[in-house]
Every structure is written in C-alpha cells, then in structure tokens.
Amino acid sequence: MIDALGSVGSLLLVGGTSDIAVATAHRYLRERPLRVVVAARDTPRRSAVAEELRAAGGRVEVVDFDADDPGSPARAVAEAAAGGDIDVAVVAFGQLGDAEQLRTDAAAAAHLAQVNYVAAVAVGTELAGRMRTQGHGEIVALSSVAGERVRKANYVYGSTKAGMDAFYSGLGDSLAGSGVSVLVVRPGFVRSKMTEGMPDAPLATTPEAVAEAIVAGVRGGRHTIWVPGAMRWVMSGLRHTPRAIFRRLPF
Amino acid sequence: MADPRTAEEVLLTGWGRTAPTPARLVAVHGPEDAAAVLAARTPRGVVARGLARSYNDAAQNAGGHVLDMTAADRVLDVDLAAGEVEVEAGISLDRLMNLFVPMGLFVPVTPGTRYVTVGGAVAADIHGKNHHVAGTFSEHVAWLDLLTADGEVRRVGPDRDPELFWATAGGMGLTGVILRARIRMKPVESSRIVVDTDRTPDLDSLMSLMAGTDHLYDYSVAWIDCVARGARMGRSVLTRGRFARRDELAPEQQADPLRYSGRVRLSAPGVFPPGLLNPATVAAFNEVWYRKSPRRKRDQLQTIGAFFHPLDGVGSWNRVYGPRGFVQYQFVVPDGREEAMRRALERISRSGHASFLAVLKRFGEGNPGMLSFPLPGWTLALDIPVVSGLAALLDELDELVVGAGGRVYLAKDPRVRPEVLEQMYPRLGAFRDVRRRVDPEGVFTSDLARRLSL
C-alpha cells in the first residue's frame, strides 16, 4: 500500500532495465527498503540491474517481459502480482528507432508502433485490471513531449508516444474513484542509453531528474507532469504554433 | 441486509482522512449478516469497521469487503449488582454512558473520544487517562464472541482460549469479527470528576510531578505545548482527577448526582483552507491556552464530557487540518528512557511542523495482548498536518523510539516501516502464529495488515 505520506511498499518496473526505471527504483530505495519487480527481457543487463537494486536495499524479483510478444503483458503482470499487491507500476519500455530508416521501412515503423503503442496499451489494460481488483495502485506511464506536438524529424516515434499518451490519459480518467490512478510523465530530451550519441536538445534532462519528478508527482497526486517543469510552457506554445510556422522550425 | 456481492463500493478513510481506498461496505445487523458476508467474500478478504476513529487504514480493505458494525448496537444483558453489561460490539461508548451513567456505571476505560465502538475498543486495545491504575479496555472484558474465518463463533476470554483472546485484544480486527462482549463497568457515585490542575514550566518538572504523584489519582493526563522551545520546552498543563462521591457535590447536584448528558454542541465546517494551522496560528493558540490555565487549582468539579472528551464538543474536528488530512503520531518509551522522550520532543519542536497540543500520559503495566500498545513508561501523542518532509521526520523519530525499546500505536500510525514495526512488537511472530491457526487463508485483512505485512 502507498501509505498516508506517499511512501511506497512495492514497485513494478515494466521495461525494468530502462535508465528512468532504474533511477526511479533508486530514488524510492533512498527513502526506505521496498519490493521491486523488474520486468524485462532475460538479458545480462537485467541481471545487472537486479543486482544493483538488491545492493541498494531492494527485495528484487525478476519476471520476463517482451514487448514483441502479444502474450507477454498478461503473463508479466500476473507474475508480478503473484508476490503481493503492486503499489506503483512504471511503464518505462520503449524504443526511439532510426528516424531515417522509419521514413521508408514500413516493417520497422509497424514494429516501433507495436513496441511503443500496442504493447503499452496491453500493459496498461492488464495493470488497470489488476489494480482495480486490488482497489489501489498508481500507474506511471513514461510518455514524451515528442508526442505532444509531433515533429517531422521523428514523426513515427512521436506518433507512437502521442497514442500512448492519449491512452494513459484516458485510462486515468476512466479510473477516477476506483482507488487507482495514472500519472502521465512527459520528459523532454533525456540523456540516457536510448539517446546515446545524440546532441543535447534544449532543456535536456537526466533519468535522475525524471525519477525525482515521478516520486514527487505520485506523492502529490498529480495526473500529468513535464520534466523539466518548464517544458510544459514550451510545449503549450508549440502546440498552438500554426502549422505553416511549426514545420519550418529547425528541428 | 444488502447482497454483499453487489454492495456498492465506497471510498473509506480513517479519522486522519489520508489514503482513501474503495471497498464494498455492508451494514451488519447481527451474527447472521456477518457470516453471510464472510461466505460471499472475494480473495480481497474482509475486515470489520466501527465508528472509524482509528486515525489510519485499520478499518479499510481496498478491493474487498468492510463490515459496518455500528447497526449491531443492542444491550443484551445487564447485571447491576456485578456491574457487568453484555453488548453487541457495534455499540458506542457514548451510548453505554448515556444508558448506564444514570445507573451508576461508567465505562472502565475511555479514550479522548466517546465515539468508538466496543468492538473497536477491544481491537485497538484502547487506553485512557486511567491506564496507570486500570490498564486497557480489554482488561475489563470477561469474554467476547468472535466470528472466525471458518464461520464458527468462538467465545474467548482471559480464561478461555487466552491465546486467541490476547491476539484479538489489540489485534486490529485481524483474527475475526468481534460480535458481542461482556464488560466489567466501573461503579461511580456521581457523574462529576474532582479535578486538580497543575501548570508546569518545562518537561522535567512535569515528568517528576507525574512520576511522584500520579498514583494518587485515578485519571491523569498532561497537555504539552510542542511549539515552545528552549527553557520553556515542554511547558504543560497537568489535569488529574477521580469521580466525586455524592457528598462532594453541591447541594443542588446531590439530588440528581448521576445526571449525564453527552451531546455534540457544534460541528466544524466541511471545508477548511489548507494551511489554516501554521506555526504562527498554533503558537498563538498554545500561548493563550497555557496562559489561561490556572497555575495550580484543587478540587474543581467537572463533567464527564469536559474532563474526558473535550474534542467531542466539536463534531468532525478532524476537518480542521484541511484536505490533505493529518497524522497522529503516538509512541511510548519505557520507564528509565525519559531522555528519549526529551529528545523526541526537542526534535519535534525544532522541525517546526505545527501541532496543536501534544498529550503526555504515564502508562502502567502492559498486558499479554500480542499487539497491545501500552508498556510501562511514557506515551506522547500529537497531531501533525500532512506536509512534505514529514515522512523523513517520522522515520527519524521511529529510530529514536525503537532505540529506546518503545513503539508506535497501531490504531494511529499510517506510515511506519514494516521492518521497524517488527522491532517494536517482539510478539508479532506469536500473533502471526495465532492468525495462521484460526485464519490460514488470511480471510481477515485490511489496508493496515497489507501495508505492514501483519
């Protein structure tokens, strides 16, 4: 149970090897020991993350999760819930893709949509069902500002995040009064393994800053947050920029 | 009774109004109703709820069933000569007082509010101002009827299945549903209390006064100003008393010495702005309260309501803390560890978290209740509105309390760490053994039980 002061007893990381997921677990573990379920593909990186979180004081369990496998969301959520209630689930998996290739490779574009949108919808539906039954819980969905106004430079990625963001926002509204809530997180450019080698965008942030914002957002009962916070006003401006101008912007 | 399977889900909280969760709330009018809900239970289980004066999540059960016990409030038997009453567990102490004070019987133990049920009083093993002489509420229970997970009703007491009785007393409703109890009441000659008041300038003088002379009184409690710092830290007003004999009353009262009326006079408005209680307003309130109290007063006659339940005069006073709710932090440290009490109070007043008056009370002997809170020593209770940074402060205080061999109170705490609680309650293992015996599937559960892995 999330207690009266917002402290968390159990955390599920779907896409548990993502930098933001790991940073969020560390941020919670800094407050008190808790149960952490790492759902990810069975890779050396998963073992390393599990070890790292154990060393930080977590009671760590691992379960298999593969966004390419349609049966995986149901299995992963059921396995995670078998060990007890899930207080907070962070949906952190996703890929950026190669924007150049995605422009022409239909299979690659469909695959990115499968991972970033279709699998995210399945995971959200499974989590919501489980949490409705347990009567409490918080789903944290890692969206992106890229989905808020889709740019020509990475429109395939942006569109998957737009869909995912819309799904989780609507899911959150549908859960009002059920004891379950959803926090949609919209980071700007995050320096992480996903963006390795790319030049910093303005207002670039870090996984640790996103983790900090997630913990504060859950504690404060927020529904949507931007990281950094100033990104909210930037995006608000961009959302209302006429298309004729927007498509000429240099990004 | 409504069908427990289709009962509507409602969001429930405790008195602190934090961490609401939904559950199917079913009104229970008697043992058959309780058994019917038990039979219709889901894997999320069942817990009983009384008047919801536990500050925390003890009477919540996210996604499961919650039994509203307050409709089962009949008096089943009265033995005036022996001073014993047999009641359904949903009856409130308020009702018991209204019925029996005029007959010369007072409840054996009352907390700071009379709006608690007998079932809740046993489940939380509540204490009052007389703990140092009378112990807890459960110590005045001859027996109780407990509906257990197998659907059986078991009569348990200190002399029949004492293990189950002492797991139930203080067991927060996790051994079964308390249906009925036989209670030994306290004979009184009047409905007035003879009160002595002493104002003390600091914590040391207060504690030595209490340690030296509390045994001369049936009831004793001190109100401490938590905001005052430095030399005035712990300045307080100590009120102590006993029930008046008939011949101590004023002549006009002697005609009707047991006259009693418990009524709520006013109610707090529904919406309070957040931040109404801040360090400045609380400090001002505490200053006025301390100054208006007499330095020393003897043999003042007070009513039951004024002496025992001053806050009951304001209905729903818990709303004063605003929409985020509040935490009541209550802990006990054993005799001989008074320095831990001093350090805790220092830490609290330094933190600047606004609190109304804190209450200091000296406990007498503990009892065999496995999760019973009191142990011989000192207990401090204070309200703190929910603000950021509070979790870390209370974790720090827990360390201090555990280090001194003390503990926090399960009827109030909404945030202790499970592994710290294990250190506080060394008989938690024995409690779990009893639960495994009478409820192997864990039918009886609550948000509190899940949060702390009880």
A66 in a structural domain? yes
Contact A9/B at CB under 8 A = yes
Whether A7 sits inside 8 A of B391 (CB atoms) is yes
Helix residue spans in A105-148 (DSSP H): 106-113, 119-134
A224 in a structural domain? yes
Whether B451 sits inside 8 A of A3 (CB atoms) is yes
The confidence score (pLDDT) of residue B274 equals: 61
A3 in a structural domain? no
Residue of A nearest to B44 (CA): A134
Nearest chain B CA: its distance from A14 CA (Å): 22
Nearest chain B CA: its distance from A132 CA (Å): 7
The confidence score (pLDDT) of residue B413 equals: 97
Phi, psi of B241 (to 5 degrees): -165, -175
The confidence score (pLDDT) of residue B277 equals: 67
Active centre residues of A (catalytic): 157
Nearest chain B CA: its distance from A144 CA (Å): 27
Contact A31/B at CB under 8 A = yes
A170-203 per-position pLDDT tens digit: 999 999 999 999 999 999 999 988 888 888 888 8
Contact B148/A at CB under 8 A = no
The confidence score (pLDDT) of residue B269 equals: 58
What residues does each domain of chain B span? 71-188, 192-416
H/E segment holding residue A142: strand A137-142
Helix (H, G, I), strand (E, B), or coil: what is residue A187? strand
d(CA B319, CA B334) in angstroms, rounded, equals 33
H/E segment holding residue A35: strand A35-40
Instruction: With beta carbons under 8 A apart, name residues in chain B contacting A179.
Output: 11, 20-22, 62-63
H/E segment holding residue A140: strand A137-142
* Cis ω for the linkage preceding A228 (within 30 of 0): yes
A35 in a structural domain? yes
Size (chain A), residues: 251
Instruction: With beta carbons under 8 A apart, name residues in chain A contacting B21.
Output: 1, 135-136, 179
Contact A1/B at CB under 8 A = yes
CA-wise closest residue to B335 among B170, B211, B422: B211
Q: Domain tally for chain A?
A: 1
The confidence score (pLDDT) of residue B8 equals: 86
Three-state secondary structure readout of chain B: CCCCCCCCEEEECCCCCCCCEEEEEEECCCHHHHHHHHHCCCCCCEEEECCCCCCCCCCCCCCCEEEEHHHCCCEEEEECCCCEEEEECCCEHHHHHHHHHHHCEECCCCCCCCCCEHHHHHHCCCCCCCHHHHCCHHHHEEEEEEECCCCCEEEEECCECHHHHHHHCCCCCCCCEEEEEEEECEECCCCEEEEEEEEECCHHHHHHHHHHHHHHCCEEEEEECCCCCHHHCCCEEEEEEEECCHHHCCHHHHCCCCCCCCCCCEECCCCCCCCCCCHHHHHHHHHHHHHHCCCEEEEEEEEHHHHHCHHHHEECHHHHHCCCCEEEEEEEEECCCHHHHHHHHHHHHHHCCCCCCEEEEEECCCCCCCCCCCCCEEEEEEEEECCCCHHHHHHHHHHHHHHCCCEECCCCCCCCCHHHHHHHCCCHHHHHHHHHHHCCCCCECCHHHHHHCC
A209 in a structural domain? yes
- Angle at alpha carbon of residue B381, lines to B377 and B382, rounded to 5°: 150
- Angle at alpha carbon of residue A113, lines to A200 and A141, rounded to 5°: 65
Contact A82/B at CB under 8 A = no
Whether A179 sits inside 8 A of B44 (CB atoms) is no
CA-wise closest residue to A82 among A158, A23, A12: A12
Q: Is the domain defined by B192-416 classed in CATH 2.30.130?
A: no
Size (chain B), residues: 454
Q: Is the domain defined by B71-188 classed in CATH 3.30.465.10?
A: yes
Contact B65/A at CB under 8 A = no
Structure tokens at B339: 């320095």
A2 in a structural domain? no
Q: How many CB pairs under 8 A join A and B?
A: 73
Of A2, A4, A219, the CB nearest to B327: A4
- Count of CB atoms within 10 A of residue B263's CB? 9
A4 in a structural domain? no
Whether A135 sits inside 8 A of B386 (CB atoms) is no
CATH number for the domain harbouring residue A117: 3.40.50.720
Residue of A nearest to B390 (CA): A5
Residue of A nearest to B12 (CA): A179
- Angle at alpha carbon of residue A36, lines to A32 and A37, rounded to 5°: 175
Cα A121 to chain centroid, rounded: 12
In tens digits, chain B (454 residues) has pLDDT values of 778 888 889 999 999 988 999 999 999 999 999 999 999 999 999 999 999 999 999 999 999 999 999 999 999 999 999 999 999 999 999 999 999 999 999 999 999 999 999 999 999 999 999 999 999 999 999 999 999 999 999 999 999 999 999 999 999 999 999 999 999 999 999 999 999 999 999 999 999 999 999 999 999 999 998 877 777 888 899 999 999 999 999 999 999 999 998 765 556 555 566 666 677 777 777 787 787 788 889 999 999 998 999 888 776 777 777 777 888 999 999 999 999 999 998 898 888 776 767 899 999 999 999 999 999 999 999 988 888 788 999 999 999 999 999 999 999 999 999 999 999 999 999 999 999 999 999 999 999 999 999 9
Whether A85 sits inside 8 A of B450 (CB atoms) is yes
**Could you tell me the residue range of the domain that residue A103 belongs to?**
10-246
CA-wise closest residue to B93 among B130, B118, B119: B118
Contact B396/A at CB under 8 A = no
d(CA B42, CA B51) in angstroms, rounded, equals 24
Whether A4 sits inside 8 A of B419 (CB atoms) is no
Nearest chain B CA: its distance from A131 CA (Å): 9
Structure tokens at A216: 């504060």
User: How far are the Cα atoms of A130, B277, B321, B324 from residue B267, in angstroms, in the given order?
Assistant: 40, 18, 14, 19
The confidence score (pLDDT) of residue B267 equals: 60
Instruction: With beta carbons under 8 A apart, name residues in chain B contacting A6.
Output: 391
- Angle at alpha carbon of residue B311, lines to B94 and B210, rounded to 5°: 100
Q: Stretch A115-134: mean pLDDT, rounded? A: 98
Interface test with A, best of B47, B54, B447 (most A CBs within 10 A): B447
Nearest chain A CA: its distance from B175 CA (Å): 20
Whether B451 sits inside 8 A of A135 (CB atoms) is no
Contact A135/B at CB under 8 A = yes
CA-wise closest residue to B373 among B190, B143, B128: B128
The confidence score (pLDDT) of residue B356 equals: 66
Residue of A nearest to B385 (CA): A5
The confidence score (pLDDT) of residue B110 equals: 97
Contact A6/B at CB under 8 A = yes
Contact A212/B at CB under 8 A = no
